[in-house]
Amino acid sequence: MIPIIQPWVDEREAEAAAAVVRSGWLAQGPRVAEFERALADAVGASEAAALSSCTAALHLALAAHGIGPGDEVVVPSLSFIATTNAVAYCGATPVFADVAADVPNVDADSVAKALSPRTRAVIVAHQVGMPADLLPLTALCAERGLLLVEDAACAIGSTYRGRRIGTVAADHPGGDVVAWSFHPRKVLTTGEGGALTVSDGAFAARLRTLRQHAMSVGSSERHATGALVLPVYDEVGWNYRMTDVQAAIGLVQLERLDAIIARRRALALRYAELLAGVERLTLPRDPVWGTTNYQSYVVCLAAPSRNATLRQVRDAVLDALLRAEVGARPGIMAAHHERAWAKAQTAPLPHSDRWADGSIALPLFHTMGDDDQIAVADRLVAAISRAV
Ligand SMILES: *Cc1c(COP(=O)(O)O)cnc(C)c1O
């Protein structure tokens, strides 16, 4: 089986994790603080708060801004379901905006259509690493006084107008936050893990307090003073901590980041050569405003001419690939297609439907050989010609 992804980890990550275990300090210690500094530097932000997941990060970003019942948050339905769920955790209402036809992201026009007087925030996802067109969105949100949260779960190392994702938010002090994921399915992994990056030191400090039960003094500060310091709890917080084991792995991963992205982009280029000109298939490419890290290589099938739905054709292609030992996956899900969120759809989402029904993520991992890529391309072409 050719897998969809393999995390790029080796003895260096194993050694870093083992060193933390040997140190005896496993949670919220020196490695977490170091990882936060290194992550902020890597993405061009001024501060980072390391967290247990990107889902936690999205929730915390909204909660720390006081978003709650009665508030609306505009989100892409076309995203991993956590983007929408994070709004529900605050008791707020998600309102779906459609994505564009040619990039799997919401834009200022589609977001504008979903705004109401109750809108407090917008979440834009850089889906599968493809950068969203940020500047029109930051302008729209600034004009309306809305918080803009970037769901950059997939987008570490992607760029927008020549700068890394994470940097644009740093130009909008006091507001914009960027959420990251370090799940093994993403570009950089700590096993499980996430973070928020922000431009404002006081806000970062507040995020770090809220992530550990809103405790007034954290364990590392208490340790540093060497004196008796008793924490107080002025509000309700969460346990969204990252461990030092995760952070130590993340520090090694950050050193590999440029190599990981260069490799993913080289493999994507090869797929583009192998699949050029295949009928009924659209290939991913960089949008005019930036570059993708190819967290996933997502191709799209054209709507079928015969009497079958796009979803049926796509599933037939996936099934054929699986039987040919190619670990392809549905490309991007849509929350409003799931029972958990079907009732939340208030307007047609035609582009989200088309992406969710017709997209396929192909295997892409660093040890992939040219023979693997040729096999994937051949089997995909065969599967498509049989399915349509
Ligand atoms: C994976 C993913 C998440 C959730 O990340 P976790 O770290 O697993 O919580 C959120 N949003 C998007 C767009 C994702 O791809």
pLDDT per residue over 187-236, tens digit each? 999 999 999 999 888 999 999 999 999 999 877 777 778 788 889 999 99
Percent with pLDDT over 70 in the chain:
98
In degrees to the nearest 10, what's the CA dihedral of 331, 334, 338, 344?
Answer: 180
Site residues for ligand 1, CB cut-off 6 Å: 53-55, 79-80, 82-83, 125, 151, 153-154, 181, 183, 194
Q: Is 189 in contact with 9 (CB distance < 8 Å)?
A: yes
CA 180 to chain CA centroid, Å, is 6
Q: Which stretches within the chain are classed as H helix?
A: 11-23, 30-43, 54-64, 82-89, 108-114, 134-144, 167-170, 201-211, 219-225, 244-275, 310-323, 350-358, 370-387
CB contact burial 234-265 (16+ within 10 A = b; e otherwise): eeebbebbbbbbbbbbbbbbbebbeebbebbb
What SS3 string covers 3-30? CCCCCCCCHHHHHHHHHHHHHCCCECCH
CA of 371 to the centre of ligand 1 (A): 31
Ligand 1 atom at minimum distance from 56 CA = 9
- pTM passes above 0.85: yes
Gyration radius of the chain over CA positions? 21
CA of 227 to the centre of ligand 1 (A): 40
Q: Is 137 in contact with 14 (CB distance < 8 Å)?
A: no
Ligand 1 atom at minimum distance from 181 CA = 7
Q: Is 40 in contact with 48 (CB distance < 8 Å)?
A: yes
pLDDT value at position 218?
77
> pLDDT tens for residues 305-364?
878 999 999 999 999 999 999 999 999 999 999 999 999 999 999 999 999 999 999 999
In terms of pLDDT, which residue wins out, 97 or 218?
97
pLDDT value at position 240?
98
- Best probe residue, ligand 1, of 39, 54, 182, 329 (max atoms within 8 Å of C-beta): 54
Q: Which residues is 51 bridged to in the sheet?
A: 194
> pLDDT tens for residues 128-150?
999 999 999 999 999 999 999 99
Identity of residue 131: P
CA of 146 to the centre of ligand 1 (A): 22
CA distance 54 to 62: 12
Calculate helix-pair angle for 11-23, 244-275, nearest 10 degrees: 170
CA of 52 to the centre of ligand 1 (A): 11
pLDDT value at position 306?
76
Angle value at C-alpha 280, between 279 and 285, nearest 5 degrees: 90
Sort strands 147-151 and 177-181 into parallel, antiparallel or unpaired: parallel
Residue range 246-273: average pLDDT? 98
> pLDDT tens for residues 23-72?
999 988 899 999 999 999 999 999 999 999 999 999 999 999 999 999 99
In terms of pLDDT, which residue wins out, 225 or 166?
166
Q: For residue 96, give the nearest of 107, 86, 84 by alpha carbon.
A: 84
In terms of pLDDT, which residue wins out, 170 or 316?
316
Question: What does the block give as tokens for 376?
Answer: 């994937």
Q: Is 215 in contact with 229 (CB distance < 8 Å)?
A: no
CA distance 268 to 115: 36
Question: What does the block give as tokens for 371?
Answer: 């023979």
CA distance 270 to 263: 11
CA 255 to chain CA centroid, Å, is 20
- Best probe residue, ligand 1, of 181, 186, 189, 359 (max atoms within 8 Å of C-beta): 181
Q: Is 27 in contact with 266 (CB distance < 8 Å)?
A: no
CA distance 121 to 69: 13
pLDDT value at position 169?
66
Question: What does the block give as tokens for 82?
Answer: 């956590």
CA distance 47 to 176: 12
Number of H helices, E strands in the chain: 13, 14
pLDDT value at position 170?
63
Q: Is 194 in contact with 56 (CB distance < 8 Å)?
A: yes
CA of 225 to the centre of ligand 1 (A): 37
- Best probe residue, ligand 1, of 89, 154, 165, 189 (max atoms within 8 Å of C-beta): 154
Q: Which residues is 307 bridged to in the sheet?
A: none
> pLDDT tens for residues 174-187?
557 999 999 999 99
CA of 55 to the centre of ligand 1 (A): 6
Ligand 1 atom at minimum distance from 127 CA = 13
Give 169-186 as a DSSP string. HHTSTTT-EEEEE--TTS
DSSP state of 128: G
CA of 13 to the centre of ligand 1 (A): 22
Residue 358 phi/psi, 5° resolution?
A: -110, 5
CA of 179 to the centre of ligand 1 (A): 9
Q: State the chain's mean pLDDT as an integer.
A: 95
